[in-house]
Structure 1
Amino acid sequence: MKVICAGMSKCGTKSMHSALEELGYTVCDYIDVFVHLEKNYMKFTIEGWNSDEFLSIYKDYDACVASPAYYFWEELMEVFPEAKVILMVRDNDEIWYKSMKRQMIASGRLRRFYYPLLSSTWRKFAAYLNNPCYLAFGHKTTGMFNFTLIDTPVLPFKLVYRKHIAHVIHNCPKNRLLIIQCKSDWKPLCEFLGKPIPTKPYPWINKDGELANMLWEMPIFKQAQREMLTNVTILLAGILCLGIYVAKMK
């Protein structure tokens, strides 16, 4: 592990992922964690973790970004003492909160309330999103992400954002830390990592919450769709057969 991204979700994580790949790093993002490391992180939320476990699951990656890795930036920094830490930030907590809200509203279109009933893959993904999230936002607080149904309190979100940034700045050695605006360009990142500046523009991805739509193009979520459609078909066929049976009994 050479780069640990400690920036929270909606702080340019997808853009940083793309930028690091452009610079030649193998990056572990939160979808990669779900596909390959979901059991590890679910265990962590119940039983805890140790340094050897983090070493084993990240030893083949050059960089990690987004949740749930940013919750464990300190543990990763200790396990990989040569790794550098990048803290991506927004202009202020209000901008971050609005961006998070847009993302969650966009994700609401994924019909996440009935998908868990019809897809085992989606149930695992929902648990993966919620359980490690308790570590960052506090137990039983992830329901506040449901912006589409309730008037969510603003302050708890902003406080988590402020505390996280303050904690990283206060505890990370200054010679290992880069604080970078998520709308930055190549120069500070490349200078910090000792890389030449690419000729192509710095990436800007998921700025309008389009990740919610991008998810369905990933193999794991196509599998969830197939499961949902299969189970709906079975359910409707069962209802039809039951209806025919009841009609014949009359």
Structure 2
Amino acid sequence: MSWELLERTIYRLPEAPPRIRRAPMQVLCVGFPRTGTESLQQALIKLGYDYTYHGWDILFERPVSMPGWVGLARRKFKTHTRSRAVHGDCTITAAEFDVLLGHCTAVTDAAGSVFAAELIQAYPEAKVILNIRRDEEAWHQSACQSLVDQNSLGFWITSFFCAEMFWAWHVYQRFLWASLFRAQDGSLGRAIYGNGRWIYREHNDMIRGLVPAERLLEWSVEDGWEPLCMFLGKQVPEEEFPHANTRGEGFKERVDQITNLWVGTALRNMAITAVVVTAGVAIAYRHLR
């Protein structure tokens, strides 16, 4: 049975209604994960870009939008299958992005980095922020510690007993992060450890080449409000720049929060499955004696 068949049948979830765009997309933050993406999200919301989409929204949004992101990722990264093929290209239009992002005026984190080139093409009037960490080694260590830790065999096995957990695994571990880090053998951990640094540099260079200088800001969270506000034409807030989603605090708490919701459902379904299988084996044994 193929993954696509599982997605359409056993793990099918109610589809989130398409978002309606009421304001133009204004800011695309296309830097990699672990470059202050949640701090940047909070800062942009403070500056009036409400709503600014973040990778956490993919997991926490209700109704869930994960199937939609898997669909776009499959369009980009797995365009040749037994059922369809394209002619060596992938274009995702603003209308197609708006189904998931129509309520947003800015986007950062997962969607921003994984679909950077497509978003830049789809929203040519939006300003682009390349959020980076200037210490490449510190970025790589943070990515290895955070993203790799979630790539566990236990999570994968458990995901077959909870539909939302199944989609979370596929949206991040199978498509978004796995494709971004070129995990050709299916191991996200090995890909981040082995490919992380050069892919990080390659991605940043791609953005610099794609976006005209007047439309691009290269920014690090240490830069704070001033260059961000100058680029966006906003007044600098009096409050301190937000700092969120650190490895030891915010990130782990958010992961635990959503995982605990899924694990309870998965354990219940595992128990039901065990009871049904045991009963079926017992009945079959009695009839075959």
Tell me the alpha carbon deviations over residues 179-221 of structure 1, each in whole angstroms, 9 at most, x when there is no partner.
Answer: 1113321111111111111222111112225423213435xx5
Which one of the candidate residues 15, 19, 24 is aligned to 2:43? 19
Name which of structure 1's ranges 50-59 and 78-87 shifts more when overlaid on structure 2: 50-59
Rounded Cα–Cα distance in structure 2 between residues aligned with 1:80 and 1:153: 29
Please state if 1:228 is matched with 2:266: yes
C-alpha displacement of 1:108 = 5.7
C-alpha displacement of 1:135 = 3.5
- Structure 1 residues 163 and 222 mapped into 2: Cα distance closer, same or farther (>3 Å)? same
**How does 1:32-181 map onto structure 2 within 5 Å?**
32-34=57-59, 35=61, 36-44=64-72, 45=74, 46-47=78-79, 48-51=90-93, 52-104=95-147, 106-107=149-150, 111-129=154-172, 130-140=174-184, 143-145=187-189, 154-181=193-220
Name which of structure 1's ranges 86-95 and 157-166 shifts more when overlaid on structure 2: 86-95
Query: Which residue in 1 is equivalent to 2:34?
Result: 10
Please state if 1:213 is matched with 2:253: yes
**Residues 134 and 141 in structure 1, CA contact (< 8 A), matched pair in contact too:** no
Rounded Cα–Cα distance in structure 1 between residues aligned with 2:106 and 2:274: 46
C-alpha displacement of 1:237 = 4.5
Rounded Cα–Cα distance in structure 2 between residues aligned with 1:154 and 1:108: 13
Partner of 2:57, secondary structure, is helix
Rounded Cα–Cα distance in structure 2 between residues aligned with 1:145 and 1:66: 19
- Structure 1 residues 50 and 105 mapped into 2: Cα distance closer, same or farther (>3 Å)? closer
Amino acid across the alignment from 1:204:
H
Rounded Cα–Cα distance in structure 2 between residues aligned with 1:18 and 1:12: 10
**Residues 11 and 89 in structure 1, CA contact (< 8 A), matched pair in contact too:** yes
> What TM-score results when the alignment is normalised by the length of structure 2?
0.72
Rounded Cα–Cα distance in structure 2 between residues aligned with 1:38 and 1:88: 24
Query: Which residue in 2 is equivalent to 1:149?
Result: none
- Structure 1 residues 119 and 56 mapped into 2: Cα distance closer, same or farther (>3 Å)? closer
C-alpha displacement of 1:244 = 9.2
**Residues 159 and 169 in structure 2, CA contact (< 8 A), matched pair in contact too:** yes
C-alpha displacement of 1:92 = 2.8
Query: Which residue in 2 is equivalent to 1:188?
Result: 227
Give aligned-pair identity as a percent.
22
Partner of 1:18, secondary structure, is helix
> What TM-score results when the alignment is normalised by the length of structure 1?
0.82
**Residues 90 and 181 in structure 1, CA contact (< 8 A), matched pair in contact too:** yes
Number of residues paired by the alignment? Answer: 243
**Residues 151 and 189 in structure 2, CA contact (< 8 A), matched pair in contact too:** no
Alignment gaps of 5+ in structure 1:
147-151
Tell me the alpha carbon deviations over residues 99-130 of structure 1, each in whole angstroms, 9 at most, x when there is no partner.
Answer: 11121355368952432133221111100012
Higher relative contact order (CA 8 A, sep 6+): 1
Q: Give the root-mean-square deviation of aligned CA atoms.
A: 3.0
Rounded Cα–Cα distance in structure 2 between residues aligned with 1:202 and 1:49: 36
Rounded Cα–Cα distance in structure 2 between residues aligned with 1:204 and 1:109: 28
Alignment gaps of 5+ in structure 2:
1-24, 80-89
